[in-house]
Structure formats: structure tokens, C-alpha cells
Chain A
């Protein structure tokens, strides 16, 4: 049986890589590798996962220098000469080993007014939204985000500007901007405009390149740029 040489980040920000030898198996995912290390080689290894099937977004890590969801990443697609390097997600504080503190990431969703603001009560009829309407189609293209943080870790602007809301929060804001049932449109556009919001995006498209759900946050951010520009020209911002 062949083996993988796996370098895993240990400790906090000032930690270092530790190498483990892990048996190479067929159809093995990176999460399988990390789980093997924690269960068989070093039970003190800290990492985070839940669903194991690409739904919860909790197992994201940096694999050979690139942010990825590890449960759906096959070792065969990322190993280089029998080696793997696994580190915590970039741009987030490290709690320990492969676990990052996601608070800032999700706080930014709230700062981008990522909460749905209802305009009706339970006594009103259910809103009728045509599946073919432009707003619904725009939402469909962006709604499947699982909040894994891969786009945030891949984004250069997050590294340069710590206040930048990031691709995921702006993508969420874009879905709500297109939601005809939502009533916080103007306030949301004001929240996502400016140097910490959509206008800071350089359109590098690293988020779209890396998104494991194949979403295009760059397109959502471009939509927000158009919406905020129109609002500014109309004096509504």
C-alpha cells in the first residue's frame, strides 16, 4: 500500500507544519486523510467538519496552497508527488491547528444586511414570484452558497482591506436585492456600497474560480455595483 506524506498545520498563528504518513486509499478525500490522522495518529489534532457530503460548508481548509472544501476534494486531484500540505483557511484567525474563527466572516454577512426583511405578515397571501422572472433567475444563480468561506480565503481584497465585506456576504446581499418580498433594499445598498463593499472588488474572480458550488460571486458583486451606481445617480443612496 502506498502512503501519502501529509504536512498539517499545528498550533495557532505562530505554529508550524507537522508531517504524518497516511495510507493512500482509493477514492480518498482530503477530509478522510485528516480524519485518519486525528483518529489513528494524533488525537489532539483539531479540525472541523459536519456533513461530509458538501452541504454544511464547515470542512474548508487550505490544501496545497488553495482553499477547498475537503470533504469533496479527492486526494487524487490535489496530491503532488505523494505529498499534501493542509493548513487552515487564510484571512481568518486560527483557533488551533486546522480550525479558524469564522466570526468575522459571518459578522460581515450581518454588516452587509444579509438578513431577510419581510414586508408582509402571516395574514397576507403568499408572494407569487414567477420562476422565469429576472429577479428570481438572478437569485437562483447565487442562492446555493453554503457559507464555507473558500471565496473569502481566496480573495486578495480581503487580505488588503480587512474591512472588506468579502464575496460571500456581498453574494448574499445580491440575492436579497433581487428578492421582491424584501423591504430593506435601500439600506442594504448603502451597507454594501463603498470601500468596504462592492466597489472594493477588483474583479480578480478568485472567488468564482474557487467556489466549490460553482457560483460566481464576482457576477453578484458586479450586480451590486450596477444597483448602487443607479441608486447614487437617482439620489437614493
Chain B
């Protein structure tokens, strides 16, 4: 992989980390507030279904995870398993696409 591509991967991981810091904080605060507030699953779904705002928020969250995690896994594979090169890049891309698909499915399930 070229120096330019690797630098862009590094930038993408840092940028997605910044987005995740915000998303995780909002997600945790929402979870705690919902549970402490005594909301049932049905009541939660009643608020999220048809909500463009929640769909957009979790859409950004899932996108950031799908960018951040595979780049980090690529480094872990390299440093801990000695797994480098094209096969590792392809495997991590598959993980990223899988996270995106699973995340999109979960968002659709609670917002559609």
C-alpha cells in the first residue's frame, strides 16, 4: 500500500475516532436515561420508529464504526499476528463491510 493510502487510512481512523467519541457518549447517556426512566422496549421502539433524527444519528455511528474498526484490526493483525499485505487488507475490508451491513440492518429494525 502506498504512503499516501496509508496516511489516508490513518487520517480516516483518527477522524472516525473523533466522531465515535461523541456518538458513544450520546449513546451511553441515552441508554442510561432510557433504562432509569423505566421505558419499556415497546416505548423505546415507539420513539425510534419513523424518527429521521435517530436513523441519522445511528447511521453516522455505524459508518464511523465501519471505518474505524477494520483499520484498527489491520494494525492488530500486523503487530500481533504478523499478518500483513493484501490478504490482511481484504480480510479487514470484509469486516468493515460486514459491520456496515449488520449496523444498517439494526438501524432499519428500530427506525423503520
Contacts and interface: CB of A to CB of B under 8 A. Distances in A.
Contacts of A194: 1-3, 6-7
Contact of A237 (B3, B75, B78, B79): B3
A177 to B, nearest CB: 14
A193 interface: yes
* Chain B at the A interface: SS class: helix
A46 to B, nearest CB: 31
B78 A228 contact: no
Contacts of B7: 193-194, 199, 228-229, 231-232, 237
Given A195-B1, A237-B3, A232 B78 contact: no
Interface in B1-59: 1-4, 6-8, 10-11
B3 A161 contact: no
Contacts of B80: 160
B6 A193 contact: yes
A228 B3 CA distance: 9
A157 B8 CA distance: 20
Interface string A221-233: 0000100110111
Contacts of B6: 193-195, 199
Nearest to A157: B79
A229 B75 CA distance: 18
A193 B3 contact: yes
A197 interface: yes
Residue of B1, B3, B10 ringed by the most chain A CB atoms within 10 A: B3
Nearest to B76: A160
A190 interface: yes
A232 B79 contact: no
Contacts of B84: 195
A229 B10 contact: yes
Interface in A44-85: none
B10 A160 contact: no
Contacts of A195: 1, 6, 75, 78, 84
Most chain B CB within a 10 A radius of its CB, from A190, A193, A200: A193
Contacts of A231: 7
Interface in A180-201: 189-191, 193-195, 197, 199-200
A225 B14 CA distance: 11
Nearest to A232: B7
Interface of B: 1-4, 6-8, 10-11, 75, 78-80, 84
20 contacts: A160-B78, A160-B80, A161-B79, A189-B3, A190-B3, A191-B3, A193-B4, A193-B6, A193-B7, A194-B6, A194-B7, A195-B84, A199-B6, A225-B10, A228-B3, A228-B7, A229-B7, A229-B11, A233-B11, A237-B7
Given A194-B3, A199-B7, A200-B75, 20 more contacts: A157-B79, A160-B78, A160-B80, A161-B78, A189-B3, A190-B3, A193-B3, A193-B6, A193-B7, A195-B6, A195-B75, A225-B10, A228-B3, A229-B7, A231-B7, A232-B4, A232-B7, A232-B8, A233-B11, A237-B7
Interface of A: 157, 160-161, 189-191, 193-195, 197, 199-200, 225, 228-229, 231-233, 237
